[in-house]
A and B are shown apart, each in its own frame.
Chain A
C-alpha cells in the first residue's frame, strides 16, 4: 500500500473524469475515508419514482469524514454523473447534516467537492430549500472557525444554487474544466436567445464562467491541474489561509465586488476584462498551461483580492 503522501492514483487520476468516490479516495489520506449514510443503507429519493426515473443508493452525493495530511476533515462529494449532481431532498439533506455536524465537531476543514447543475427539477422545491439550508449552515461552520473549501472541476460544473453555495465557501479551488455560474449557458440561451448566449460556443462558455476566468477576476483562490494531486495541494494551502466569517470580511468583499463592476462593468467578453487586468496577450489565456497561467495570475494581482 502506498504511503499517505502518495495515493496510488492521485497524480494520474483526472478530477474531471473521476467519480465522486474516486475523487474522495484519492484526495484524502489513503484508507481514511468513512462514509455516512452510505449506499448500503439505500436512502434513496422518495420522489424520482413519480417520474419513472432511476434512483441511486447514495442519491448522487457521498458524505463523511477522513483525514487530509493527518488532520480530520469532513467531506461531501457530488456525483455529476447522477442527474447532473443536482440537489434533491435526500441529496440536500445529506449535505446539510454534514455541515451541521461540523459546527460542533470542529474538523480542521470541510471540503465540498461541488459537481452540480443546481436544483434537481423533479424535486425543485426541496432542492431549493436545501440549498438555502446549506448556505446558512456553511456560514455557521465558518463562524465556528472551520474553513469550508470548495473544489470545482467536475463534468457538471457548478451551476444554479451550486454557484451560490460556491460563493458562500471560505475558499475555492477550480480547474480549467470547472465552470461556476448561476444561470448556465443553456438557461440563458433558452430564456434570452442565442444572440445573448450561444451555449454551443464552448470557448465562450470557458471565457465567461470557466476556471481561468474565475481565477483571474478573484472568483476563485487557486487554479488546479486536472489531477487529484493538484486539488489536494490546493486544498491544503487554502485551509491554511481561510478568511473569517465576519463583518470585516464581508465589507472587504463588498468593496472587492463593487470595484470589479466599476472596472469591468462595460466589458462584453472575458478577453476584454483580462486585457484591462493587464494580461499581455488575452487571447492566449485559454491555451496557457497551469504554470504559465499561475505566473500570469501572480503578475496582475487582482486575484489576490480574495475576501469572501
Chain B
C-alpha cells in the first residue's frame, strides 16, 4: 500500500497528514479522538534534520498531554550516510527521536509502528523499532544490511548466503525474518479497513517489551529471552 492509500483507509472522513521532503506529520480523527501520525515516506534516508523534525512533533504531542495514539509510518532508507551527518552527531539525533517515542509511550500515548515499505539500520531503530507495537503491511521490506553487503563483509559468496537464508531467519533481510525475530508483532490485512486493525492493536498493547518472547515462540531468536531471564535472575539473586 502507498501512504496515500494507508491514510485514506485510516481516515475515510479525511485527515491533515502531510509529507514534506519525505517526512510525514499530522493527524486525523480516530475513535472519537485523534490519531497523530509521524513517519518517513518514499524510501527517504533519515538525517540529523529529519530526526529532529520528527522528534519535535512527538515532543509536541507529549506536551499537549492528550494521550492520543501516535502512528509511526515508515518507508525509509537507512540513516543518511554522510560525513556531515556524523560530524553533527547523527547518533544523538537518532537516539533523541527514539527517546522521544519511548517518552511518549511512558506518558500514555500508545505508540504503533506501521512498516509499509523499506527501512534499515539506524533509521529503523530510531522509528519503527522504538514503538510499543510494530505492525507491517504485506510487501514491507525491513533490512539491517542487504545481502550483497553481507557477502562483502562475511566474505561468503552471495549464492551461499541466499541458500543459508532459507534455513535461518537470523541474518537475511525481509519481513518474514523480522516477524520471526519478534521485532514485527503482526502483519495487517490491506484489504480491510486499517482503522479497526490499528484500534485492536492499541486495545491489546503488550504491557512489557515482549519481542524476545515472540522471537522464541516464532523460532527466530531461540535463546534471547532465556538468556535475558537467566542474567536478570542471577543479577537480582546476587
> Could you tell me which A residues sit within 8 Å of B by CB distance?
34, 36-37, 43, 46-47, 50-51, 63-65, 74, 89-90, 92-94, 96-98, 100-102, 104-105, 119, 121-133, 135-137, 139, 143, 160-161, 163-168, 180-183, 187-188, 190-192, 196-197, 208-209, 213-214, 217, 219, 245-247, 250-251, 253-254, 257-258, 260-261, 264-265, 267-270, 273, 308
- Chain A residues near B83: list those with CB within 8 A: 188, 196-197, 208
Q: Does B19 contact A (CB under 8 A)?
A: no
Instruction: Find out whether the CB atom of B168 lies under 8 angstroms from the CB atom of A50.
Output: yes
B residues 55-110 near A (Cβ < 8 Å) are: 55-56, 59, 62-63, 79, 81-96, 98-100, 102-103, 106-107
B228 to A, closest residue via Cβ: A97
Given the known A-B contacts A133-B212, A139-B106, A254-B52, are A126 and B95 also in contact in the complex, defined by CB atoms under 8 Å? Answer: no
- Chain A residues near B238: list those with CB within 8 A: 34, 36, 64-65
Q: Which of A94, A161, A254 contacts B122 (CB 8 A)?
A: A161
Q: Which size class do B's interface residues fall under? A: 35 or more
19 interchain pairs, CB-CB under 8 A: A36-B235, A93-B223, A93-B224, A93-B225, A98-B235, A101-B231, A119-B145, A126-B224, A128-B181, A131-B125, A133-B209, A139-B102, A163-B90, A183-B81, A183-B85, A183-B122, A213-B87, A250-B96, A254-B100
Instruction: Find out whether the CB atom of B150 lies under 8 angstroms from the CB atom of A124.
Output: yes
Instruction: Find out whether the CB atom of A308 lies under 8 angstroms from the CB atom of B221.
Output: no
B80 to A, closest residue via Cβ: A183
Instruction: Find out whether the CB atom of A163 lies under 8 angstroms from the CB atom of B91.
Output: yes
A11 to nearest B CB, angstroms? 29
Given the known A-B contacts A46-B223, A51-B156, A94-B231, are A257 and B81 also in contact in the complex, defined by CB atoms under 8 Å? Answer: no
B20 to nearest A CB, angstroms? 17
A211 to nearest B CB, angstroms? 13
Instruction: Find out whether the CB atom of B88 lies under 8 angstroms from the CB atom of A98.
Output: no
Instruction: Find out whether the CB atom of A246 lies under 8 angstroms from the CB atom of B234.
Output: no
- Chain B residues near A183: list those with CB within 8 A: 79, 81-82, 85-86, 90, 122
Instruction: Find out whether the CB atom of B221 lies under 8 angstroms from the CB atom of A164.
Output: no
Q: Does B137 contact A (CB under 8 A)?
A: no
Instruction: Find out whether the CB atom of A128 lies under 8 angstroms from the CB atom of B124.
Output: yes
- Chain A residues near B96: list those with CB within 8 A: 167, 250, 253-254, 257, 308
- Chain B residues near A122: list those with CB within 8 A: 154, 170-171
Which of A130, A219, A245 has the most chain B CB atoms closer than 10 A to its own CB?
A: A130
Given the known A-B contacts A96-B212, A105-B236, are A187 and B227 also in contact in the complex, defined by CB atoms under 8 Å? Answer: no
- Chain B residues near A124: list those with CB within 8 A: 144-145, 150, 170-171
- Chain B residues near A121: list those with CB within 8 A: 144-145, 150, 153-154, 171
Which of A74, A104, A125 has the most chain B CB atoms closer than 10 A to its own CB?
A: A125
Instruction: Find out whether the CB atom of A100 lies under 8 angstroms from the CB atom of B228.
Output: yes
Q: Does B49 contact A (CB under 8 A)?
A: yes
A136 to B, closest residue via Cβ: B209
Instruction: Find out whether the CB atom of A47 lies under 8 angstroms from the CB atom of B170.
Output: yes
Alpha-carbon separation in the docked complex, A163 to B48 (Å): 14
Alpha-carbon separation in the docked complex, A165 to B100 (Å): 14
Instruction: Find out whether the CB atom of B129 lies under 8 angstroms from the CB atom of A128.
Output: yes
A45 to B, closest residue via Cβ: B223
B residues 25-75 near A (Cβ < 8 Å) are: 48-49, 52, 55-56, 59, 62-63
Alpha-carbon separation in the docked complex, A123 to B149 (Å): 14
Alpha-carbon separation in the docked complex, A100 to B230 (Å): 11
A120 to B, closest residue via Cβ: B171
Alpha-carbon separation in the docked complex, A90 to B228 (Å): 8
B95 to nearest A CB, angstroms? 3
